[in-house]
Amino acid sequence: MDQQRAGETARILVEALPYIQRFSGATVVIKYGGNAMDSEELQNSFARDVILMKAVGIHPVVVHGGGPQIADLLKRLGKESSFIQGMRVTDGETMDVVQMVLGGLVNKDIVSLIQRNGGRAIGLTGKDGAFIRAKRMKLRPSGDDPSVGADGLIDIGQVGEVESIDVSVLDMVVKSDFIPVIAPIGVDEQGRSYNINADLVAGKVAEVLQAEKLILLTNVAGLKDKQDNILTGLTAERVEALIDDGTIYGGMLPKIGCALEAVQSGVQSAHILDGRLPHAVLLEILTDRGIGTLITR
């Protein structure tokens, strides 16, 4: 390493030091999925990010999705996917596939990824210790939606929302040497399994752990204004104003809603980051400028 590169490395380490000191002992919940899983380089950079966080005393908790992998296996099995209001209709057969993909294939691949890069990880679903209690989600009709029930709502099968989370199960893992990797599958009191949106699970996990940060990795550089500038340093009130004036719309609304609810429920800050950027998590939390959209109370 030449002198210039060595100096740059030292500068980066010194810049990171106050953030390491500030966040040591804190919990950071990260929703990992989509584009951040797309290449081997991005997968390894993510794994090294969470391993480094754990090594310096920060407690990362990973919640993952797996929509593309579910769709791929359903297609190979000859089962057609159908969606209502962007939500996958989940009958019993589809739920079996969801559990195989999320609780088996994807979850264990992420655990293995972290361990190959020198960390220690343990895979969980919300069914382990029944720590994610779920209830059936029903949708309000919008336009010409089919199959409106007698209650005026649309039943999309075994799609759930979080009813409660048993924090004792999480505390046991978070305070150990292991990095928990959580598949977003919940269970109700009758033992029925439910597929839950990973952003929602990450937000609820961050709330019950009173996390320092909730990080949502996505496929955009962050929240942008109408002139295509990235917005950051936003308060909850400012985010609500941006929703009201139409700056935040469409597919970004659920993600922003999840982040907003988390900070209003005790999480110190929420971050929306571009998962296509190597080491996105470390760049956001351990550097002066950060790279994405920050929302605080």
For residue 185, is it within any domain? yes
* 251 carries a ligand binding annotation: no
pLDDT value at position 147?
Answer: 65
> For the chain, what is the domain count?
1
pLDDT value at position 149?
Answer: 62
For residue 12, is it within any domain? no
Q: Tens of pLDDT along 160-183? A: 999 999 999 899 899 899 999 999
Q: What CATH number has the domain bearing residue 169?
A: 3.40.1160.10
* 67 carries a ligand binding annotation: yes
Secondary structure letter of residue 202 according to DSSP: H
Question: What's the length of the chain?
Answer: 297
Picking from 54, 71, 72, 15, the residue whose alpha carbon sits closest to that of residue 287 is 15
249, 258 contact by CB (below 8 A) = no
Q: Which residue has the tokens 């979080």?
A: 162
Runs of H (alpha helix) within the chain: 3-23, 40-55, 67-76, 92-98, 107-116, 167-174, 198-208, 236-244, 252-264, 280-285
For residue 76, is it within any domain? yes
* 219 carries a ligand binding annotation: no
Backbone angles phi and psi of 220, in degrees to 5: -130, 165
* 104 carries a ligand binding annotation: no
Picking from 263, 215, 224, the residue whose alpha carbon sits closest to that of residue 33 is 215
Tokens at residue 243, please? Answer: 């929703």
What letters, b where the CB count within 10 A reaches 16 and e where it falls short, cover 21-56?
eebeebbbbbbbbbebbeeeebbebbbbbbbbbbee
Q: Tens of pLDDT along 120-167? A: 999 999 999 999 999 998 887 766 555 666 567 888 889 999 999 999
Picking from 220, 201, 208, 122, the residue whose alpha carbon sits closest to that of residue 166 is 208
For residue 75, is it within any domain? yes
Tokens at residue 142, please? Answer: 């919008």
For residue 7, is it within any domain? no
For residue 130, is it within any domain? yes
Instruction: Indicate the average pLDDT of the chain.
Output: 88
pLDDT value at position 150?
Answer: 55
Angle between helix axes 40-55 and 107-116 (nearest 10 degrees) is 70
Domain holding 158, by residue range, is 25-296
For residue 69, is it within any domain? yes
How confident is the chain (297 residues) per 10-residue block, as mean pLDDT?
75 89 95 83 94 96 93 91 83 93 94 97 94 90 63 85 93 92 95 94 96 91 77 83 80 82 92 90 86 84
For residue 1, is it within any domain? no
256, 199 contact by CB (below 8 A) = no
